[in-house]
Structures are given as structure tokens and as C-alpha cells.
Structure 1
Amino acid sequence: MTAPDYGALYVVATPIGNLEDLTPRAARVLGEVACVAAEDTRHSAGLLRHLGLERPMLSLHEHNESTRVARITRYLEAGQSVALISDAGTPLISDPGFLLVRELRRAGHRVIPVPGACALIAGLCAAGLPTDHFTFQGFLPARQGPRRARLEALAKREETLVFYESPHRIQATLMDMETVYGERRLVLGRELTKTFETFLDGTPQEFLARMNEDANQARGEFVLMVEGAHIEAEESTRVEAETLLRTLLEEGIGVKQASQVAARLLGGARKDWYAKAQVIKDGEKDHSG
């Protein structure tokens, strides 16, 4: 099914804001294909008008994607190519298209990427956070319970964490990140490539304060990037804490007093230090016995 007279699916990246970011190749492909499959045809019609193009359009979104495979397959088998675009950026990156691409490739059809704008990459390259390793999580769950559970599951990952977030959930997400990640460094990219593009660098608490002062900072689409966990530092702190507690106990200081000193010097909850000191004390008793 890969004969030359078969058409291809072009996965075309479109601008995330600034229309000048559309590549010449993307513009040419959109003008040559028989049909443009778009997440929202009304939205994408504006892009085609900007390019002076008139193309047949077909809606393809999360609710109808599985039913569009057969129709697009008919275009390809008739020797006609189709372009897949999303509302903004690169299709399939937190946007529809995965089912279509998977089924067409399984059937032997050509799928050709036409790269370009992507909010994920645009945010990372200007954030000043490590980019040699990162994990992209897309949008977090809408409900607080599952959202916090996802954040906690990622808490010990050492690579940069990248999320997308919408304006009506950004403050709730930042509050959950403050609970889970504490003072860890974050970079918030807002309205990337658009007129009011903003990068904020700080902690979740600082971002929330900024948004309370200026409501505009909570508007738009967000790329939220989180510094990875410092596992080596955490291990060093754990060893330091255990050494301190053991020394205090060996000097005859009680568990309660040792936990108070550890909490004052190293931070953290006194009850947690008490529990650690008690484990060490019990272990020494077992060893001496």
C-alpha cells in the first residue's frame, strides 16, 4: 500500500501565536493537499484565509477522530494527500491525531511530518532550565485529587518537568505544586510568541502572589516548567540528619530534645524528626541487646 500513486498524510505544525512562524514548506503543503483535517475548522479557516488559500476542510477532534480514519483513507487511496493541523502548534502534542497516524501507518500509508512551532519546545529553549533530559506531561488532571497524585508521582524525577495549563486552572495547579514541590524553582511561559508573551521565574508562591497583584498574569495559555528533583542533595541531607541525631543520642540527649534540635537546624516537622530519632534509638537498643 505504499505505491507512488497513493497520497500521504502530512502532519503540519502551525503557529502558536505569531503567524510569521509558519514555515514556507507548511504553507506550500497546505496549498497542495486535497483536504485539510483540522481540530476546529472555523478556527483554522482563518489561517487559510491569511495564506490566501481555499481548501476543503474536515473536522478531526477527540470526539470524532476514530470515525475519520476511513474517510481520510479514501483520500489517500485515491491518490490525494491530506494535511492534519491542530488549532495551534504541532498536531498530536496534547492535541488529536494519534489514532489517525497509528491506523494509517499500520495500513502502510505514508505519514510525513512538516515540523514547526511547538509550545513545549518554545518554552523550554527560553526557560533556563536543563533541557538534556525532560519529561512532558501535557495537561494535568482537572480534579485536585488526581492532579496532586500525578504531581507526587513525579516529585522525585531528576529531569525538568513540563506541563501545559489553561487559564481557568493555573492558580489551582500552582497551589498544588506549592504543596507537593515546596520552594522548587519553576518557570512559567505565558502567551508564547504572542503580543503579551511573558516568562516568570520563581516559586509557586511567588507566581500566585504575582497573579493576585496583576490578574492579567493568570490569563492566556501556559507552559509550566519545573526544575527536577535534586536526589543527591536529598541523600546528603538524609545522611547529615541521621548523623546529627545519632550524635545527639550518643551524648545522652533524649529523643524529644534531639528531634527539637534537628528540626531547628535542618528544618522540617518536629514529629518526623522524633520518629527518625526513635528508630535510631530502638535500633541501638536491639544492637546492644
Structure 2
Amino acid sequence: MSIRLVVTDIDGTFFDDQHHYDVDRFNEQYQEMHRQGIHFAVASGNDLIHLHDVFEAKSPLQTFVAENGANIVDGQKPIAQSLIKPAILEPLIDRLESDPLFEGAHIHLSGKQGAYARKDDPSIHSELVRYYIPKMMAVDDLRDVSDDIYKLNLGFDQGEVMAEAKKINRLFGQHVFATPSGFGSIDVIPKGVNKAYGIDQLQQHWDLTPDEIMAFGDNFNDLEMLQHVKHGYVMKNAPQAMHQFDLPVTPLDNNESGVLDMLDRLLVGQLPL
């Protein structure tokens, strides 16, 4: 069965470590995918504003699974949106701000109108945070935010955050799911929502099956997506823990344009194997 949809994570996957990709090479591939009837989508934990910012001047992408599946769009058409209920959000923030395990964590809310952080959170002045969250609004208290919220993100100075994610899931797992998303971050999204859910929405939108989908990712927030499709590839540069799931690995890493290499193989009929 031929591939009709390619889905890729961006950071650590489609982008190199400097957040770049070979624009001219990919744009030629994108045109050829369109000619062959293959859809292309970006699946990311980032918000839609950021995804539009990083692609709109470079490549004419239309389809985004943003917020780890909580906000899915095809062009101007919303496909699906999932929100964290306010009744869950307030006690979750209470716990995160009071529990010693989360001391020092930077808490950001991602909503329809933009992102939010406390005024006294030093991360709002970080160049990296401003790159990922171009529309950041500082507030006195996160509980007072009235926007619809897709995701809560926790940022830590340390890289290993599995214990923190597990505790959130133990305490609030009936309503939300916490997943490490790389670089010391945890994304907290509505229960049942992940990148695989996002792909499932695109399957219904385009009448596809998992056998017709190829996906690429490098971290735990990509895992459900890679396991959901028949052709799910872990990046060569992925953390070692991501290589325990018996998924195929790309020959090249993100700094070697590993996804573009796989697209070249797909478009000349060398893939899927």
C-alpha cells in the first residue's frame, strides 16, 4: 500500500540543532509529494502561532497537529480542538506551585489567544522561550487566565523529568496526561489527546488508514504517533530510551537532514520497505 501522508515532529527531528532545515531541498520534495498525492503534516508540542512563524516565510505548509494533538488545523479549517477543563486546571496549578518536586519549574499555559506565564517567572525574558512562544503574556496569577487552554507546559533546568511527569499522571491522570517533550520540558494535555490522536483526526479528514502513513519523531511525546502508524521511524539521534520500542531508526540524524533523506527515498519508490 502506498504512502498518502507523511507526518513529522520538528525539534530534534525535521529541524537540526540550530532550528534550521534545507528549505530549497524540502520545498522541491513538498511539490513532488503534492504531485504524487501525498499529504504532509507537522506534529509538534508547540503552539500554532510558533509553527506558522517558523514555516510561513519558507514553506507553504497547510496542516498542523499543534499542542501535541490538542489543536489540529488544515489550512484555515479547524479539524479538532481539545481543552483542559478549568475545574482541573486550577487544582493542577495549585499542586505544581506547592509541591517541592516541582520547585523551580517554569509554568506556561498555552491557549487560543496566546501563552501565559507569571510576571515573576524569569523564563519570560529568555530568548529561547521567546522563540518558542512569540505571544507570551505575563499575568499575576495563572488561575486568573480566562482563555481556553490547550496545554500546560513545565520547564525544568534539569534534563530528566520522568519522575515529575509520572507524579502528575498519578495525581491527575483521570483528566490529563503529562509527557516529557524534550529539553527538560513536560507537556500536560487533556487525557486521550496526543499526536496519535491528531493523526487519527487527519485519517478521518482524508479517509486514510495507518498503513498509508509514515511518521518521524525523536522523543516520548512522539511515541504514540510512531506506534500508531505502520511506518513510524525513530530518529537516529533520539534519546537511548526511545530505542527500546523496536521501532525502525532513520539512517541519518537530524543534523544530517535525516527526514529529508527519508523523503528522497520515499519519492523515488525506495520506501516503504
- TM-score normalised to structure 2 length: 0.30
- TM-score normalised to structure 1 length: 0.29
Structure 1 or 2: more helix by fraction: 1
